[in-house]
Structures are given as C-alpha cells and as structure tokens.
C-alpha cells in the first residue's frame, strides 16, 4: 500500500468525521461529488451527508460561520481553496478567531486548511505561503506538516485542539510524497523533529522546504559534509529548544523557508538563536527564502524565485567557509 500526502489529508478528515459528530467541513466545492479543487474531500459528502458543505465564494463568511459554530460546540474544518484566498478572511481569522479566547474565555476550536506553497505555473495568487502572517498574530496555532505521516496525525490533532489552528498543507507535496502506511500517532504538536543527523551545520526548515533541505544535505554528504536538518513541524509554537540543541552540536545555523524574506519564520528562528544561543554560534546565522517579489508564473522564473536545493547547498558552503 502506498498513500500520498493528499490522501493522508483526506483520510484524516474521513476518520475525524467518522469519530466525532461535532466535525463538519465547510468550503468552496468541497461537497457534492466534486470533493474539492484538489480532491482532499473526495467522496466525503456522500459518506457523511450534510456534514461536508459547499459554500459561496465568501472566505470571510466561511470563517465567520465556522467561528460561530465552534463557539457553540462544533469542530469545523474550513477548506480555503488556496491559501492565497485566506487573505480575504484575514479579519475573521486574526481579529475574531484569534481574540475570542483572550477576550471572553470561550475557546474557538476551528481548523482552517490552507493549500499552500508554489507549484509550476501557478503564479502570484495560487502559490503563497502564509504561515508567517498568521504566526505574527496572537491566538493562533500554525502547523506546517512536511511528511505524509505528519499531514495525517497533525490534522487530527489540529481538530482536537481547543484553539484556532491554521493548517498549512503544501500543494507540491500533495502528489510528490508517499508513505507505506498511516501512523496511529505522531510527535506531540509543538515539538520539532531531527529529520537528518549531522555535525557540521544545522538547517532549520519546514513544509516543502524540508525536502529541498534534505536533498541539499544529501548532495553535501557526497563532499563529506554532515548537515543536520530540523523539521519544525509547526512554526507556532516554535520549538526553540530543539533548534538550540542542534545548533549546540553543530555551531552553525541556516534557516530555510519558502515564504517572502521580510520577517517570517526564518527570521524568527535566527532571532531566537541569536538571542538565546549566541555563544553556540561559530559563524553568523543565515537564511534562504523566496525573493521579495510576487511569485512568478513562468517555470524558469518560478524556480529562480523559490529556494532550491542548489541555493541551499551554495549557502551551506558559504557558511562553512566562514
């Protein structure tokens, strides 16, 4: 048996709907026989009548409705068709869902699924990674699963958590990642994972960039360099302790993210290591991010905009020379 990252997300939702009557899925084209733009809910509307509901193209109202249902005891999963379109729901997510517990003491257990990240030819409005933006605001948990196993167990945990969770699922990984079977449980939410052990340098990454980082580490291994790769799994909360422990072993840090360079998860990793582990560093920490332009359409431009394993290799070499 072989199961993809996308199938894992569908299977997680099927299990959730089966096990818990409070759960419903709300989003554009998720219902009927269509099953979502990426088929992440295929067959679920038929299997769970009345609980997988098509919505109007109203991102704000989709999330608002989920918030109201969550406060009344339901566990809604909102599917954004693309992460990019969640910008239209920012107000509901940041100012409503993110503030309800702090203001009223009532929890707001919504899960918002964001099909994130770039694929060839998708252009500026179907390629974005929005984890930095959501992490910046208080009151939200932001998950960025990088493996089939995590895609499955973290989505199940996201729905179980009593707080709003932004679940960033990567579209490139949908079809490119496969696992033999789905696990019963994963690491605790908020705990990073050492994806590859090394001693010369630490790469901290998450989501699709984990795989570019692992590819880079493999290339460098051919040159005798042993790079450690940390998979953050969730960017908020950020597991600073695991990152610091890795840097303590290697003395060098490179943070890799697919999002735009200004601020963001990679900046946060470096800020924390610089503030809390400055003495552990043998060289200045560095980052590899996307470029500071909208995400381009043409594959030639797209692959130059996005961090690649080659760009990561080049940066690692530079860091190790210092």
Residue span 268-287 as binding mask against other proteins, x where in contact by CB under 8 A, dash where not: x---x--x------------
Helix (H) or strand (E) holding 198: none
* Cα four-point dihedral sign 248, 249, 250, 254: negative
Among 98, 145, 186, 296, binds other proteins (CB under 8 A): 98
106 or 221, CB closer to other proteins?
A: 106
Residue reference for tokens 């099953």 = 35
> Could you confirm whether 126 is annotated as catalytic?
yes
Nearer to other proteins, 106 or 314 (CB): 106
If binding is defined by CB under 8 A, does position 215 make contact with other proteins? no
104 binds other proteins (CB under 8 A): yes
Q: Give the residue among 128, 140, 230 at the shortest CA–CA distance from 171.
A: 128
Q: Encoding tokens for residue 63?
A: 């999330």
- Beta-bridge partners for 141: 165
State the minimum distance, in angstroms, from the CB of residue 125 to other proteins: 18
CB of 28 to other proteins, least distance (A): 12
Contact call for residues 21 and 48 (beta carbons, < 8 A): no
- Report if residue 87 touches other proteins, rule: CB under 8 A: no
Q: Which is nearer to other proteins, 72 or 292 (CB)?
A: 72
Catalytic option among 126, 170, 211, 305: 126
Is 263 a residue that touches other proteins (CB under 8 A)? no
What DSSP assignment string belongs to 206-275? Answer: -THHHHHHHHHHHHHHTTT--EEEEE-SEEES--HHHHHHHHHHHS-EEEE-SS-SSSHHHHHHHHHHHH
- State yes or no: residue 102 binds other proteins (CB under 8 A): yes
Which is nearest to 143 in space by CA: 199, 191, 92?
191
Site residues for other proteins per CB under 8 A: 24, 55-56, 58-74, 76, 88, 91-92, 95-96, 98-104, 106-107, 138-141, 161-163, 189-190, 236-238, 240, 268, 272, 275
Which residues carry out catalysis? 126
């Amino acid at each position: 048996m072989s199961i993809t990252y996308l199938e894992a997300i569908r299977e997680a939702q099927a299990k959730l709907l089966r096990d818990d009557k409070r759960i419903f899925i709300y989003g554009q084209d998720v219902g009927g026989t269509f099953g979502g733009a990426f088929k992440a809910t295929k067959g679920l509307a038929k299997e769970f009548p009345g609980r997988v509901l098509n919505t109007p193209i109203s991102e704000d109202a989709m999330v608002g409705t989920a918030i109201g249902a969550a406060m009344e005891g339901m566990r809604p999963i909102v599917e954004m068709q693309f992460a990019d379109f969640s910008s239209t729901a920012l107000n509901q997510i940041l100012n409503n869902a993110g503030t309800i517990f702090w203001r009223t003491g009532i929890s707001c257990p919504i899960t918002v699924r964001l099909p994130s990240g770039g694929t060839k030819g998708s252009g500026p409005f179907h390629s974005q990674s929005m984890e930095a933006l959501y992490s910046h605001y208080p009151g939200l948990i932001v998950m960025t699963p990088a493996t089939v196993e995590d895609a499955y167990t973290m989505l199940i945990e996201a729905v179980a958590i009593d707080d709003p969770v932004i679940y960033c699922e990567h579209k490139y990984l949908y079809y490119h990642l496969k696992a033999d079977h789905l696990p019963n449980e994963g690491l605790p939410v908020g705990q990073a994972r050492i994806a590859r052990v090394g001693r010369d340098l630490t790469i901290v990454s998450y989501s699709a960039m984990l795989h570019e980082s692992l590819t880079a580490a493999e290339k460098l291994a051919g040159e005798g360099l042993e790079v450690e790769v940390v998979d953050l799994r969730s960017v908020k909360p950020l597991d600073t302790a695991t990152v610091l422990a890795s840097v303590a072993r290697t003395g060098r840090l490179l943070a890799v993210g697919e999002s735009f360079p200004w601020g963001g998860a990679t900046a946060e990793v470096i800020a924390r290591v610089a503030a809390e582990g400055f003495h552990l560093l043998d060289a200045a920490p560095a980052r590899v991010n996307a470029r500071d332009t909208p995400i381009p359409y043409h594959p030639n431009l797209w692959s130059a905009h996005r961090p690649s394993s080659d760009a990561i290799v080049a940066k690692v070499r530079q860091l190790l020379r210092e």
